[in-house]
Amino acid sequence: MREPFVFDPRHPLCKTPFGAAVCGSQIALRCRPLAAEGFTHCALILQQEFSGLRQELKASFSGIEGDRACFALDFSAPAEPELVWYAFRLWRDDGSGCMLDKTGYRSDGGWDPWQLTVYQKSFSPTWFGQGITYQIFPDRFCRLEVPSPEGLVGERWVHQDWAEAPAWRPEADGEVRNRDFFGGSLQGIVSKLPYLKELGVTTLYLCPIFESASNHRYNTADYTRIDPMLGDEEDFKLLCREAGRLDMRVLLDGVFNHTGSQSRYFNADGFYSTLGAAQSTESPYYDWYSFHPWPEDYDAWWGIKTLPAVREEAESYLDYIIDGPDSVVRRWLRAGASGWRLDVADELPDWFIRKIRAAAEETKPDAVLLGEVWEDASNKIAYSKRRKYLLGDELHGVMNYPFRTALLAYLQGGDADGFREAMETLRENYPPAAFSSLMNFLGTHDTPRILTVLGADRIPESKEERAIYRLSPAQRQRGLELVRLAALVLFTFPGSPTVYYGDEIGLEGWEDPFNRGTYSWESGDRELLAYFQRLGALHRSCPPLREGSIQWLYTSGPLLIFARELEKSRLITVLNASDQERELPLSEPKVRNLLTGAVLSPEDGRLRLPPRTGLLLTEDCPG
């Protein structure tokens, strides 16, 4: 069969090795225009993002293959980490010709090049990417007793009823301060470790746990103290020890771009006895912040004055957070944490992230460092600057928002090939270790609940409507069917399947704070929970799901079929996201569905799949 493409960087006929390249490694390229087009010369145009170097390297004519004229070129990747943009120039003996880039042939002077990520190979821990992660919003997971808010920073109040809805209305001055607490605690999490073990969880990702004036705790008040409502440092150490006994690790949320205005460092309301930057220019924390002028105006995260932005380059701040022998990064790793997830990584300088990684690895060599990045992290531009997150000395991996975006688009009526294309773009652009260390998820504390998104037929216009919105029985049933499909992809795709607390029992809710309700320990969908537990058990027991390569077998319309392969073992994920029964393009004479244990034999050589149904197949069907 003739290959229709002139150049496809994902095809071994055109480029080897696949995807990103190690610094200094050799890369082979082949450009294959139709011979009838008469091109007799070809050159590779390279543009390096960070060094600014631009090159044009001539390719050699390697002969005619079928109807294709083949031009070949081997070149060395840069010795330092880079993003290399490249395209081809093709011309004939008479001088006529054109450019070839991602858009095809062009002669308009435009430039839409392919990307080659060149990275520095370094140690990357595998425990995170090969395991299952569970994200906990600590205030809402498990409460053992109703706490008192007296004497704590912020004017807090506590819900007496665990099942109440979170407060969402603005206060009298129009501000939303998130001052309502439910009282979930670290001891509560410890009590539920056996439950998490049943889900197959190996990493607990905790939203911030340090002392703060709000229930989300992203406005840190004291980096050195566990919020008293959650417990204390001994409770944290106990959690890490008990989790470790069950082969689980703890990942902390590091909020290092800003503090809270009610922190001991800024101290806008004078709660702390320490002299804060808002109180005096003589404060030891004054140079942490940018005032213009002091004290009324200062830089704040997205202009939110309760979140004053820090100056990462301030020497005393660097020493406090990273460099000092008892710095925040080092201290909590020594206390038992196994890594950090960096909040708003786009707001942190590359050099700052590099320093965090170096300090973390020096303290705990197999510590993992992840970042909150919502787009393709290999080529992200933040504040007009191209970022270097994944080039070898910064992040091990990132939160995979593109996975969620592409999967939802497919499940809500899109083409399965759109999901494949989005994921192959990441696989091509990311270093292999980074792709394997992605935090894949269906929802987080920053997104609406997955069941609500997939079950609802519209988004209510007003926040008041969204606050009381609940799916109808029919919507919930449809949503549950689609959530099962989404979870099947989540647990069988490369990277760490990450479950946002309560998604496994069908919690509903639109945006914050409706997506941050309490976990329903006395109710919830137990059938859905059993399904998640089954997926967790399969992920734990099937090496291909943790370490295997991915092959796309069929992606068209509502049908998504891919395989994970490791040595001689192969598992096949099959989804039919449509409302109609579909015939599957599979030729295996007999397969077993690992989700149910049933052996499937295609009738008349054909296997049919009911609407909104998924399978996890193995060809190992003895007897």
Catalytic residues: 343, 372
Strand 559-566 versus strand 549-556 pairing type:
antiparallel
- The encoded tokens of residue 85 equal 């943009």
Distance of CA 313 to the CA centre of its chain: 27
91 neighbors 101 (Cβ within 8 angstroms): no
Distance in angstroms (rounded) separating the CA atoms of residues 278 and 269: 9
CA atoms 510, 511, 515, 517: torsion sign: negative
From residue 373, give the alpha-carbon distance in Å to each of 132, 342, 345.
20, 9, 6
Count of beta carbons in the 10 Å neighbourhood of residue 94: 8
Q: What gap in Å lies between CA 91 and CA 95, rounded to an integer?
A: 6
562, 529 Cβ separation under 8 angstroms:
no
Dump strand ranges (E) for 512-568: 549-556, 559-566
Q: Which of 25, 40, 101 is nearest to 70 (CA)?
A: 40
**Distance of alpha carbon 279 from alpha carbon 270, whole angstroms:** 8
Torsion angle, CA of 116/340/373/498, rounded to 10 degrees?
100
d(CA 456, CA 29): 47
State the helix-helix crossing angle for 401-411 and 416-429, rounded to 10 degrees. 170
Closest CA to 347 of 371, 328, 329: 371
CA distances from residue 378 to 422, 438, 439, 444, 490 in whole angstroms, order as listed: 13, 12, 15, 22, 22
Q: Which two tokens stand for residue 472?
A: 């109808």
Strands of 447-568 (E only): list them: 496-500, 549-556, 559-566
Helix, strand, coil in percent for the chain, rounding step 5: 25, 25, 50
Asked if residues 518 and 140 have their Cβ atoms less than 8 Å apart, the reply is yes
